[in-house]
Amino acid sequence: MAWIKRNLFFVVGGILAIGLLGAAGYYNYKGWSHNNAAFDKLNEIYNTLRDLTGKKPSPGNEKVNNIEAAKAQESQLRDWIRQAADYFKPIAPIPNTGTNAVSSKAFAETLSRTIDQLQHEADAASVTLPPKYTFSFEAEGGSHRLVIFAPGSLGLLTVQLGEVKTIAEILFAARVNSLDGIQRVRVSDDDTTGPQADYFDGHSVTNNLAVLTPYQITFRSFSPEVGEVLSRFASSPCGFVVKSVSVQPAGAFAVASAAGTDVIAPTPPPAALPPAALPGKGGLQTVLNEQLLRVTLVVEVVKLLPKK
């Protein structure tokens, strides 16, 4: 104790020095831990940046900002989609109630009127139809006309009736010689009882932008009318896309026999167009004898999805 008293300042200074050394050691440890964590984070950021830079396309660099370029292109694409929407006007369902709510009675009555209207339009345009043709709605509006329809089918049937009417009127406007048939995809349990000739073995496809519903159309005409049909589909504001075209000479065709089966009968010889004027004495007479064609189109109706 006497020594401590004699060296009190030394003892106090030593204790303070030990305390300061401990604090310094603790501070160094904390700093080392912090530096290690910061270094690990820096390595993580560096590795992420290296991975992004290696991607194709990369986010860019100090000269090229691919992220901003992508945002600008996305904005341009959305502007184009808004402008293109003017060429994909929806086809109104029949009947058009403003909602999908439609009664069996209302659809049955409207279906009958629509089929009758299309038959008269075909007659006015001199387009030949199959006997008592129901435009692919034989199961719903044929000889065994329904008054009660399969649950959940009326909304889809009204849409298809509107689309079939629009397609038929395009063919009538182009004045094709005859319409063999319009085939649609099955959307109702009632369709399982209909004739196979009314249906197309396809299905609607939904992507991020639209619903694509296919129809198969078979008609007979000469080449100018075929061009007119394709032109009218292309210029329609309703969003038709012709997916395939099959053209064959109408050398033989199926007709319905009295027993209800299909038989093959020859097509009458196509009428020759009037001869051209003679070029002069001794010249050869030019006659154009164009062949009647049987054309099958697969057409998709593009229906844009509602904006989110």
What distance in Å separates the CA atoms of residue 121 and residue 132, rounded to the nearest whole number?
14
Please report which helix (H) or strand (E) contains residue 166, including its range.
helix 154-174
pLDDT band at 284 (very low <50, low <70, confident <90, very high): low
pTM: 0.65
pLDDT at residue number 74: 82
Asked whether the beta carbons of 247 and 293 are under 8 A apart, the reply is yes
Between CA 265 and CA 213, with CA 185 as vertex, the angle to 5 degrees is: 120
User: Span 162-187, mean pLDDT?
Assistant: 96
**For residue 225, pLDDT beyond 80:** yes
Distance (Å) of CA 141 to CA 21, 56, 210, 282: 99, 57, 29, 62
Closest CA to 235 of 79, 92, 89, 118: 89
What distance in Å separates the CA atoms of residue 103 and residue 257, rounded to the nearest whole number?
36
pLDDT at residue number 36: 77
pLDDT at residue number 306: 80
CB atoms closer than 10 angstroms to residue 254: 13
Burial (CB count <10 Å: 0-12, 13-18, 19+), residue 228: middle
Mean pLDDT of the chain: 80
Could you tell me the end-to-end alpha-carbon distance of the chain, in angstroms, rounded to an integer? 88
**For residue 221, pLDDT beyond 70:** yes
Asked whether the beta carbons of 204 and 211 are under 8 A apart, the reply is yes
User: Domains of the chain by range and CATH?
Assistant: 89-256+291-304 (3.30.70.60)
pLDDT, tens digit, for every residue of 22-77?
Answer: 776 767 666 677 777 777 887 887 777 677 666 666 555 566 677 777 788 888 87
CA atoms within 13 A on the CB side of 75: 6
What distance in Å separates the CA atoms of residue 270 and residue 253, rounded to the nearest whole number?
14
What distance in Å separates the CA atoms of residue 135 and residue 141, rounded to the nearest whole number?
10
Lowest mean pLDDT among 97-111, 208-222, 271-285: 271-285
**For residue 278, pLDDT beyond 80:** no
Torsion region of 156: left, alpha or beta (phi above 0 gives left; psi -120 to 50 gives alpha) = alpha
Asked whether the beta carbons of 216 and 200 are under 8 A apart, the reply is yes
What distance in Å separates the CA atoms of residue 92 and residue 166, rounded to the nearest whole number?
9
Q: According to the per-residue pLDDT averaged within each range, which of 208-212, 273-277, 286-290 is highest?
A: 208-212
Asked whether the beta carbons of 94 and 162 are under 8 A apart, the reply is yes
Closest CA to 294 of 232, 251, 231: 251
